[in-house]
Amino acid sequence: MEKVLIIGGGPAGLSAALWLYKYGFEVLVVEAEKRSGGLLNKNYQVNDWLLGTYEKTGQTIAQQFRKHIKKTKIKILQDTKATKIRFAGKKLHIEYLKNGKRIQDSNFSACVIASGLSYRNEDVFKNISGIKKIPEKLIRCGPEAFTLKALRQPKRVLVVGGGDNAFENARMMCKRSRVEMIVRSKPRAQKHLLDSIKEINNSKKRCWIHENTKILSLNYDKNKIRVQITSSAKKNKIKKMLTVDCIHLLAGYLPNTAFLNEIMDGKIVVDANGYISIDDFGRTNFTGVYAAGDVSSPNFSGVVTALASGAKCAKTIERDLNPSFLQKHYKGLDKINRKAGYSYIYLDNIQVELSIGVYQYEKYLRNLDVAIVVGIPANRAKPNKDDINEVINYESFVEAVRKVVDKQQGKHFNLLETLAKLIAKECFKNENVQYLEVRINKPKAIDGRVDAGVEIPFYRSELSKL
């Protein structure tokens, strides 16, 4: 049984684990906290954004996830951090710390990084004078600003941040408190949140939004926090003093990726904000290393997307680790039609879903996974200029394959040969193609184990007969 390592036991990591387990992998999840569930454990409010879970808090949903995983043989190491990930050949080896003990585990075929985000904390204020005098308990960061205690207590609260979390918190706080909001630039929250604050203010002003504003200094005196703010938008920088009982810091989240530099051989490519860069299938720049959830999703964080991306990663791993017959034997294709001065364009493993096959179950299933390989000897291996117009652009052939597949959606093919022919015809629309080969593979088509498919050469001279 092949082994997969998952770093992070939040929704994305657990979802990847479940899917991989169901695909037949042995799965190990390494989770830094004492229990899995990720940020959901810190969501004390009802999360009705997840279909089917209305009236359930984030914490309850996390508990349900854990229960589901307990029904499987997925191994979760809690309170554990990976300290080293090493690549040896095609396998990954991990070293981790458990109860102060250094433990090694080897021969993982793949690894999913699902380490999520951390909310920004008092560090945001580190250069502001007076910060050290403010009692720690009066600054509530991230999820701590949403506890019942936080929501009930203060008369006046300063909410720092301009995104969804800050406005959601302000909306909730408005019920009991006077809210001052400090927004560094312009509010970025969803329209419905901004509108709800406007609506509250229309009946009675409860929330003061200070846009384009920064905190100059903080002062703590007689159980009150005095906040000096300044507007950065106006030239003559107006200064103002606010008095509040506590501060809710909701200044966003940062991806948990810094640890990867320390523990991995080589660098995982991240974007300018530290989010892991992945392809459409969840693959990172390292073969065998995948990423899922908020850590690789700067634009679509959330439980639903984390669950979906975990499942997607698992599916990709299943496919990548079980390469089709075609991929394994690709070298054969490479030798055909090789001539001096010719290069060989190949489009390997274009994965599509189609209704194809003569067996009853294939007709019933409707969407079978099919892998397509197209090989085209190009007419010039050594272009005169470093210019795409000098050679055949292979992307156009991927488009050709997809065009054929899209056209056939909703229809059923009995024969792979029919599909191959249609693909060949579409590719021959490029005048430069004289010859091509199409391979179509149905992974595990026979007995659920054996890949089966066809490989057909096509010549332009036979085009009229196709």
Ligand X SMILES: Cc1cc2nc3c(=O)[nH]c(=O)nc-3n(C[C@H](O)[C@H](O)[C@H](O)COP(=O)(O)OP(=O)(O)OC[C@H]3O[C@@H](n4cnc5c(N)ncnc54)[C@H](O)[C@@H]3O)c2cc1C
Q: Which is nearer to ligand X, 46 or 345 (CB)?
A: 46
Among 180, 294, 318, 437, binds ligand X (CB under 6 A): 294
Q: Which is nearer to ligand X, 11 or 375 (CB)?
A: 11
- Cα angle vertex 240, ends 126, 142, to 5°? 40
Give the H/E segment covering residue 12.
Answer: helix 11-22
**Residue 31 and residue 172: Cα distance in Å, rounded?**
32
DSSP label of 191: H
Q: Which is nearer to ligand X, 49 or 54 (CB)?
A: 49
Q: Which is nearer to ligand X, 9 or 443 (CB)?
A: 9
**Residue 246 and residue 252: Cα distance in Å, rounded?**
18
Q: For residue 260, what are the CA distances in angstroms to 12, 36, 110, 268, 397? A: 18, 20, 15, 7, 37
346 binds ligand X (CB under 6 A): no
**Residue 50 and residue 56: Cα distance in Å, rounded?**
10
Q: Nearest approach, Cβ of 112 to ligand X (angstroms)?
A: 10
- By CB under 6 A, which span of 41-49, 208-216, 226-234, 370-378 interacts with ligand X? 41-49
Among 108, 116, 283, 436, binds ligand X (CB under 6 A): 116
Which region holds residue 103: left if phi is over 0, alpha if psi is between -120 and 50, else beta?
A: beta
Q: DSSP 3-state assignment of 172? A: helix
39 binds ligand X (CB under 6 A): yes
Q: Which is nearer to ligand X, 196 or 213 (CB)?
A: 196
259 binds ligand X (CB under 6 A): yes
- By CB under 6 A, which span of 19-27, 65-73, 175-183, 293-301 interacts with ligand X? 293-301
Q: Which is nearer to ligand X, 114 or 246 (CB)?
A: 114
81 binds ligand X (CB under 6 A): yes
Q: How many residues bind ligand X (CB under 6 A)?
A: 38
SS3 content of the chain, % helix, strand, coil (to 5): 35, 30, 35
Q: Name which of residues 124 to 163 contact ligand X (CB under 6 A).
A: 142-143, 146
308 binds ligand X (CB under 6 A): no
**Residue 81 and residue 243: Cα distance in Å, rounded?**
42
Q: Which residues bind ligand X (CB under 6 A)?
A: 7-13, 30-33, 38-40, 42-43, 47, 49, 58, 81-82, 114-117, 142-143, 146, 256, 259, 293-295, 301-304, 306
